[in-house]
Structure 1
Amino acid sequence: MRAPLEWLLKYVALPADTTIEQISDAFIRMGHEVEGVHTPPPTVGQLVIGHVRSIEELTEFKKPIRFCRVAVGAGNGELGEDGTATDERGIICGARNFVEGDKVVVALPGTTLPGDFTIASRSTYGRISDGMICSAAELGVGTDHDGIIVLDDDAEVGSDARELIGGSDTTFELAVTPDRGYALSIRGLARELAAAFAVPFTDPARVALKTEVKTEVTGDHAWPVRIDDPQGCDRFVMVRVCDVDPQARSPYWLRRRLAAAGIRAISLAVDVTNYVMVELGQPLHAFDAAALSGDIVVRRAVAGEMLSTLDGVTRTLRDTDLVVADDSGAISIAGVMGGASTEISDATTDVLIEAAHWTPPVISRTARRLKLPSEASRRFERAVDPAITAVAAEAAAALLVAHGGGRVWSNRTDVGNPKASEVVVLPIGEPERIVGRPFGPGVTARRLSQVGCTIEAKADETGSSILLVTPPTWRPDLLRTADLVEEIARLEGYDSIDSILPVAPAGTGLTPTQRRERAVASDLASAGLVEILAFPFVGPKDFDQLGLPADDIRRRAASLLNPLDSERPSMRTTLLPGLLETLTRNLSRGSKDLALFELGTVFLPKSNAPRPPQLSAGQPPTPQERAVLDASIPAQPQHVAAVLVGNVDHSGWWGAGRPATWSDAIELARRIGRAAGIELSVVAADNAPWHPGRCASIRVGDWPVGYAGELHPAVVERLGLPPRTVVLELNLSALPVRTAPVPPAITSFPAVNMDVALVVDESVTAAALTAVLLDGGGDLLDSVRLFDVYQGAQVPVGQKSLAFALVIRSSERTLTAAEATQVRDSAVAAAAAAFKATQR
């Protein structure tokens, strides 16, 4: 929101010595982020108002050039049209948006414009140009380079132009949070400043904005209107202005304020509606009454209904979209954008001004689905004041009559019944209890009154003092006691709250699950991986890119009623889409060797989950409703996922680097298990989106808890990733919580180290053979470690040789060679029985 200081001062009486820095600090204290403070650069020298007396078209040059005679004040003895002496200058100008008789801004020779550009009298195009006719961009008061500034007819020739064009006015650019829609208006921001400086505030909505009686047209209501969807629109106002001069131009002061607010001037009718929107916060829309057919109806769109909007795009509507329609069909997307068939044109003389109050979620969903944000939708989706709907429409009509002639229809159309604000009970001591600091007498009432609340003090049934607070219509966010307390704290200043570290209550500290998650994250970070935090939203395209089968359970995701991104309307069931999107983004920015991980929640809908009940506002759910709610909530296990691309061991003087392979992903999975205090096993598997020959199932016992390995080549190609990208994903919540660790047995008796090489079928995994050896060797077989895999001339085709290092030890005595040999032979015999293994 861009708010010109000159416009704000129209409604708030700040002290004369208030500085720009103090105003900026006040906005920040009130909770509004100041993104920028814009002050036009100064113009040094003579910047005056000129009167264009004549224009000579110079056609002998490649581009159109005009030689203008411009009166800039009295002084050189030449006689003007009225017989008085004038100072008239000849000026070369290429702009064509002005005519003879217009008032313009002239920089005389010797004047230095912003950008250190000094004007001089010089010969050009065969004429002497004695000055410069200026555009808004050249003066630093706007961005319009195409045409020069054309002032109103009552501008005084020869006077200083700085005050008229706002050459020294400051504009504040604020970031408005979604819960403070009232701050998207001069009205709301002026009220904030009045509260911050404790000075009087004049509400522009209460200023009398009536036209003279002689301009009114007596008749029926402005236009017949019917609301078929009161849930989407609870008030609709129409004001009609006829006999408007279609060629009338917006006054310069209005165009200047709109430009300072970041809105381009278009035509008088459109500019007036935009001006009232910025000032009061109520978006308006102007229809050409001659283009309407029949009664206006506010309804939901018919599925597949088409509408060409003002931006020239034909859009397909859904039955969830709210529209304004007549007998011809939809003529406007409610609260978002009007239709081209009824827009104001250069020939429009009969104008219908619409002001409505729409339900915020309806407007928000439509604007996001259509990717059609507008100044109107920004305000409607944050909620506007339903009490000023008629005031805003009549204010626009008054401005239209004042500057475009015409007459106002005496009876406006006003249908609907907006909901009144509900009373909020505020115990007297609640602000102090919640905020944690004392408030002086009357502070609560004074601060809430500054917001616009009406307050009634009384005692409750226990005799305790309470305040019955009715929030103003422009603050629909004040719904509960906590909202009022927050408002009091905001107005008093968050910096007035002492920073006191609370005493931690006695307890057991972190839960075992929390300790496990922190241990895993810390261990992965120590291994060189970088943690990311991705958005938890997915869509069908993400599942398609991963190559998940149509019946894959991960496609069964919980959908959102109001998604932030229409292409990703569901909650994630796997961490991989967000992780791989982050990887792609970093690769596109030049990174080559990346190791990323994310630890987050996934959302798994339950089978046959009950439908959530419709809860009553202001009342807690019953035990039965709570049980249904709990049963309908998706399961939310904690997952951890990681991705590796490029080199895991970098190259240097010590030698060549080593690229990441599927084995690194499996080792990371084992590392996660060790950090969680669980020994994980690895079994070959085939699961999308992994490569079928380079995918491992990570298990606790026989129960799979995740997968690790190399991504499928087709997935790598679809996502534009480097070849041999490796990923893993584990379900941390499926891991057993670590119990107290058992210390290893320590013995002083020596170990016997023996090696054994076994030839088995190549389908036998090393993990399976290791388990059989440990089981066959008995308690004396301390450990088994694979150290070599061989396939070659000495091994039959279709088989492989696996070499293991055996550690044999007793905690009670020193083993003899015969005892150690017997343990080895028992282990080999078990392998022979299980896999027909033969010893090399």
Structure 2
Amino acid sequence: MRVPLSWLAEYVDLPPGTSLEDVHAALVRVGLEEEDVHTFDLEGPIVVGEVLEFVEEPQSNGKTIRWCQVRVAPDGERAADGGEPVHGIVCGARNFFVGDKVVVTLPGAVLPGPFPIAARKTYGHVSDGMIASARELGLGEDHDGILRLSTLGIDAPVGTDAIHLLGLDDAAVEINVTPDRGYAFSIRGVAREYAHATGAVYRDPAGQVEATEVATDAFPVEVRDEAPIRGRVGASVFATRIVRGIDPARPTPAWMVARLKLAGIRSLSLPVDITNYVMLELGQPIHGYDLDALQGGIVVRRAQPGETLETLDGKVRTLDPEDLLITDDRGAIGLAGVMGGASTEIGETTRNVLIEAANFDPVSIARTARRHKLPSEASKRFERGVDPAIAAAAAARVAQLLVDLAGGTADAGGSLLHAAPEREAILLSDGYITELIGVEYTSDEVRDALAEVGGRVTAVDGGLEVVPPTWRPDLTGRAELAEEVARLLGYDRIPSVLPVAPPGRGLTRSQRVRRSVADALAAAGATEVLAFPFVTEADNAQFGSTDGSPVASVKLANALDASAPYLRRSLLPGLIGVARRNLSRGLTDLDVFELGLVFLPETGRAYGSAELPIGWERPSDAVLEELDAGIPAQPRHVGVLMTGDLRPKQPGRAAEPAGIADALDAVRRIAHAAGAEVEFAQGSHHALHPGRTAEVRVADRLVGYAGELHPELAAAADLPRVVAVAEVDLDAILELADPSVEARPIGTLPAATQDLSLVVAAEVPAARVAEAVREGAGELLEELHLVDDYRGQGVPEGAKSLTFALRFRAADRTLTAAEASEAKLAGAALAAERTGAAIRE
């Protein structure tokens, strides 16, 4: 919410010299976070000038300029820049005439940009200043012609300071409004909060609107809601006023244009600007209808199946039966609380206006705005809660401005369908707030704070009875009232106490393992990334199945990107996108990983078919089970991608590019952090390089793949030819890991090391051979790892020689070479039995 200071000062006293920073600091004290400041970024001299004469001069480039003589000061007086009262100015616009009053930026002035103004030679003349357009002054987007003051209804003396005249010396603070404080989306609400923070006198703008007589039959309105949300009808209050004989061509006053601009709303036309102005002032969205375009009275109802509406943005929208509509005898004329319809829009020929100020149900408006992707200033306020007691005053305020500024005549009375519902009283027992907040508040402090918020406070036996104000729908219970007391009396009074964690409530095993895995990969030099989970159907087929065939995927009903509407079955498409983006920015050496969920629906099974429960009651266990059954499996995976040089070139050491070995090492780190024993076997995957793909197994169960990305896929993604990747199911690894694994103590006695070379058929996985050697060697074997895989001269064709480094150690004695050899040969014997391996001579 942007709050112009001149507007704020109308309803609360700002001390002389109050700066934007002072206002922000005051609002921060009551919990309104500062966002930004906004000014017109203008420096004078900028004055009112009068066009005395001009000569049109065609140029060789086809353009015609005007050489103008402009009076910028009264006769006999110096101009604001110290120059002559008449300046020669070159201008390219042609929408002004002799005698027009215009805005002249004199030498020394600075326009937004910044764009300094100086006398300069152009088109054969020395242009001593510039005649400004609305956009150059920051007032709007119109840059086609000069801003003529007569179009704003202004006739000021020549030489008048145009910055002050047009309200361009104003400034605004911007605050962040949280969803529970919708009342702060108005000058009325922010002024009240500023008064809370500073103790300044607050003047409610709603109380300054002249009261009007209310008649239920001033204009026929009916609420016919057959599908209420949360047990409430869509419109709880509906106020109308009628103003006749307006002149829609009248200009919007400069002060209103400036305030709207600072508040982030552009000026459109006087009637529309007035409705926007009152919305910002009071927080009540207003809609105006061309009264003569209406057919019959207004009916508020839900949409019918297949019904359509052309909204003010020119789009024809197919409506949902839950959408709340404003209708007349011919059908829909507006999406209630979101956007009006084109058929009753106020235009250049409008003379009679029907003003609508209603209170719509927040849930209904929020769902409609999101369903149609149609956020608006009105829906932003309605979905956070609008004061139901302000509707009649807001309609009267619009009528007053249409009379004063547009020359209309208001009908004597207005209509009000339903009154604001009475808020229920909340019982606040003595000592409750002190016990909850931990601060000793006196009863007088509590009573005064709640009264300052706007509540009606009554003393009762054992405490206070508080009726919250109508503009605070978030105050629904004792805890909310306690929070208000703490907020207004100062958060600095609350002591800082570090809470003690309850025993036995630490991280779960799954959470600890996820952190350990992330730490292990990061410690090895990888960078954790977070990719979008949205992919194409081709991505799921490519990486979500081993053979590239189509697979079942979850398709989003309301995707952020229509080209990627599916939830991922694999982390690799996201990691490839991350790599591609980083490579395009010059980062050629990458080692990234992601921990995230994948979505694995079963083929032929419908998901998401369960009816969603209402949001204001806790669902039953049966409903929760039905909802859970409608959710596909979502295991947590770990994905790794490496490309380029993992270890850069150094003096005396060549660069080490990433490859399959690094992918396997990453999987080993993941398994080690999870406490699992991992095995690798030759595998195949449609998206990975043939011959450079390994199956990852834990307890003989397939949990993922590691290898190198298929070169064709790498080329299609603009990646290098060699891209090492791995993806494993962390949930499956966690399930299969032994949670009781303990660290082995470090041996203190000497170790015996030996090598073992075995010749085995080429198709036999090295992991199977290593497993047999490890089991056959027994407890004396401390460590085993593969150091060589040789195929060539001296080894029979179709076979390979695997060399293992073995380390033996006993816990209670020094091993002899004979004992180590005996254990090694026992391992070789078991490998021969299981895999046909033979010791290489």
**For the residues of structure 2 that align with 1:117 and 1:754, how far apart are their CA atoms?**
81
Offset, 1:109 = 7.6
My pick for the range that moved more, 520-529 or 361-370, is 361-370
Secondary structure of 1:221's counterpart equals coil
> Which residue of 678, 681, 691 maps to 1:680?
678
**Deviates further, 715-724 or 217-226:** 217-226
**What residue number does 1:272 align with?**
274
- Equivalent residue number for residue 467 of structure 1: 464
Q: Are the counterparts in 2 of residues 665 and 709 from structure 1 also a CA contact under 8 Å? A: yes
Q: 1:224 to 1:420 in 2, by over 3 A?
A: closer
CA-atom RMSD in angstroms = 4.5
Corresponding residue for 1:198? 199
3-state SS, counterpart of residue 38 of structure 1: strand
Write out per-residue CA displacement over residues 466-502 of structure 1, whole angstroms, 9 at most, x where no aligned residue: 3333332322222333333333333333344343444
Shift of residue 638, structure 1, vs aligned partner: 5.5
- Does the residue aligned with 1:179 lie in a helix, a strand or coil? coil
SS in 1 for 2:463: strand
Deviates more, 1:412-421 or 1:515-524: 412-421
Structure 2 match to 1:84: none
* Counterpart-to-counterpart distance in 1, 2:747 and 2:367: 67
- Work out the CA distance in 2 between the residues paired with 1:825 and 1:129: 101
Give the superposition deviation at 1:266.
1.2
State whether residues 422 and 470 of structure 1, in contact with CA within 8 Å, keep that contact through their aligned partners in structure 2. Answer: yes
Q: Which moved more, 1:195-204 or 1:650-659?
A: 650-659
Which range is displaced more, 519-528 or 734-743? Answer: 734-743
Q: Cα 1:700–1:252, aligned 2, differ >3 Å: closer, same or farther?
A: same
**C-alpha separation between the residues in 2 aligned to 1:734 and 1:689?**
27
- SS of 2:408's equivalent? strand
Matched, 1:647 2:645: yes
Secondary structure of the residue aligned to 1:674 is helix
- One-letter amino acid of the structure 1 residue matched with residue 485 of structure 2: I
Q: Which residue of 2 aligns with 1:171?
A: 172
After TM superposition, the structure 1 stretch with the greater mean CA deviation from structure 2, 517-526 or 152-161, is 152-161
2:337 is matched with 335
For 1:422 and 1:662, locate their aligned partners in 2 and report how far apart those are by CA, in whole Å: 68
Picking from 560, 582, 587, the partner of 1:586 is 582
CA–CA distance in structure 2, aligned partners of residues 717 and 689 of structure 1 = 12
Task: Indicate if the aligned counterparts of 2:540 and 2:570 stay in contact, CA closer than 8 A.
Answer: no
Q: Distance in 2 between matches of 1:597 and 1:645?
A: 12
- 2: distance between equivalents of 1:225 and 1:512? 56
Deviation track 1:542-599 (CA, whole Å, cap 9, x = no partner) reads 9637543599998459x89x99889888987765565555444434433222222344
2:592 is aligned to 596
1:666 to 2:667 alignment: no
CA distance in structure 2 between the aligned counterparts of 1:249 and 1:272, rounded to whole angstroms:
11
Matched, 1:751 2:752: yes
Structural mapping, 1:642-791, within 5 Å:
642-686=640-684, 694-711=692-709, 716=714, 721-723=719-721, 724-732=723-731, 733-734=734-735, 736=737, 738-739=739-740, 741=742, 743-744=744-745, 746=747, 748=749, 751=752, 753-760=754-761, 762-779=762-779, 783-791=783-791
Aligned to 1:544: 540
Q: CA shift at 1:743, angstroms?
A: 3.2
**Structure-1 separation of matches of 2:116 and 2:803:** 84
Deviation at 1:5, TM superposition (A): 0.2
- Matches of 1:598 and 1:267, distance apart in 2: 52
The aligned counterpart of 1:531 is: 528
Query: Which ranges of structure 1 fall in alignment gaps of 5 or more residues?
Result: 78-86, 460-464
User: SS state of the match for residue 481, structure 2?
Assistant: helix
- After TM superposition, the structure 1 stretch with the greater mean CA deviation from structure 2, 666-675 or 94-103, is 94-103
After the TM superposition, which residues 454-493 of structure 1 pair with which residues of structure 2 at under 5 Å, given as runs? Answer: 454-459=456-461, 465-493=462-490
CA contact (8 A) 1:218 1:409 kept: no
Is the contact made by 2:608 and 2:627 (CA closer than 8 Å) also made in structure 1? no
Residue 496 of structure 2: aligned partner: 499
Per-residue CA shift, 1:765-794, capped at 9, x if unaligned?
Answer: 111122123334444555543222233355
Conserved 8 A contact 1:228-1:297: no
Of residues 347-356 and 500-509 in structure 1, the stretch that sits farther from structure 2 once superposed is 500-509
Aligned to 1:81: none
Report the secondary structure of 2:472's partner residue: coil
Q: Which moved more, 1:338-347 or 1:178-187?
A: 338-347
2:288 paired residue number:
286
Please report how far the alpha carbon of residue 295 of structure 1 lies from its aligned counterpart in structure 2 after TM superposition.
5.1
CA distance in 2, matches of 1:712, 1:383: 55
Q: What aligned pairs does 1:393-412 form with structure 2 within 5 A after superposition?
A: 393-410=395-412, 412=414
| Match runs of 1:248-259 below 5 Å | 248-259=250-261
Offset from partner CA, 1:308-344 (integer Å, 9 cap, x none): 4433444455455444444555443443333334333
- Could you give the per-residue CA deviations for residues 24-73 of structure 1, whole angstroms, max 9, x where no partner exists? 2112222223232234456445x544566x77673645545557777767
Deviation at 1:758, TM superposition (A): 1.8
Q: Could you say what secondary structure the match of 1:387 adopts?
A: coil
Preserved contact between residue 12 and residue 190 of structure 1 (Cα < 8 Å): yes
In 1, distance between residues paired with 2:226 and 2:620? Answer: 34
Which residue identity lines up with residue 727 of structure 1 in the other structure?
Answer: A
Partner of 2:6, secondary structure, is: helix
* Structure-2 separation of matches of 1:25 and 1:541: 51
Partner of 1:7: 7
Given that residues 421 and 472 in structure 1 are in contact (C-alpha distance below 8 angstroms), is that contact kept between their aligned partners in structure 2? yes
1:253 Cα shift? 2.0
Q: Is the CA contact 2:326–2:336 (under 8 Å) kept in the aligned structure 1?
A: yes
Q: Distance in 1 between matches of 2:319 and 2:706?
A: 44
What's 1:381 paired with?
383
Name the aligned partner's letter for residue 544 of structure 2: L
- The TM-score, its normalising length taken from structure 1, stands at 0.82
Q: 1:7, CA displacement in angstroms?
A: 0.6
Contact 1:705/1:734 (8 A) holds in 2: no
CA distance in 2, matches of 1:580, 1:450: 57
Q: Structure 1 residues 811, 345: closer, same or farther in 2, change over 3 A? A: closer
On the 8 A contact 2:553/2:600 being kept in 1, the answer is: no
Kindly report which structure 2 residues correspond to 1:806-817, keeping only aligned pairs within 5 A, or say none: 806-807=806-807
Q: Offset of 1:252 from its aligned partner?
A: 2.0
**1:510-560 Cα deviation digits (max 9, x unpaired):** 66555444433332221111233556x546659637543599998459x89
Q: Does the 8 A contact of 1:783 with 1:806 survive in 2? A: yes
Rounded to whole Å, the distance in 2 between the matches of 1:424 and 1:701 is 61
Give, in whole Å, the separation in 2 of the partners of 1:454 and 1:569. 51
Asked whether the 8 Å contact 1:225–1:413 carries over to 2, the reply is no
Name the CA shift for 1:226/1:288 in 2 (closer, same or farther; >3 Å): farther
Alpha-carbon separation, structure 2, partners of 1:642 and 1:227:
54
CA contact (8 A) 2:675 2:741 kept: no
1:28 match: 28
Question: What TM-score results when the alignment is normalised by the length of structure 2?
Answer: 0.82
Output the amino acid matched with 1:493: G
Alignment match, 2:82 = none
Give, as a single letter, the amino acid of the residue that structure 1 aligns with 2:766: A
SS in 1 for 2:677: coil
Instruction: Name the residue aligned to 2:80.
Output: none
1:193 is displaced (CA, Å) by: 0.8
Q: Could you list the per-position Cα deviations for residues 275-298 of structure 1 after superposition, in whole angstroms to 9, with x for gaps in the alignment?
A: 112112222233334444455444
Contact kept in structure 1, 2:13 and 2:201, CA below 8 Å: yes
- The letter of the residue matching 1:163 is H
CA distance in 2, matches of 1:653, 1:321: 70
Paired with 1:504 and 1:441, the residues of 2 have a C-alpha distance of 33
Corresponding residue of 1:462: none
Which amino acid is the alignment partner of residue 527 of structure 1?
A
Q: Are the equivalent residues in 1 in contact too, given 2:222–2:300 (CA < 8 A)?
A: no
Residue deviations 1:329-363 (CA, integer Å, cap 9, x gap) = 54434433333343332222233333333333444
The equivalent residue for 1:187 is: 188
Mapped to 2, the partners of 1:145 and 1:443 lie a distance apart of 56
Q: Structure 1 residue 259: deviation in Å?
A: 1.8
Structure 2, unpaired ranges of 5+: 78-84
8 Å Cα contact 2:239/2:415 also seen in 1: yes
Contact 1:610 1:628 in 2 (8 A): no
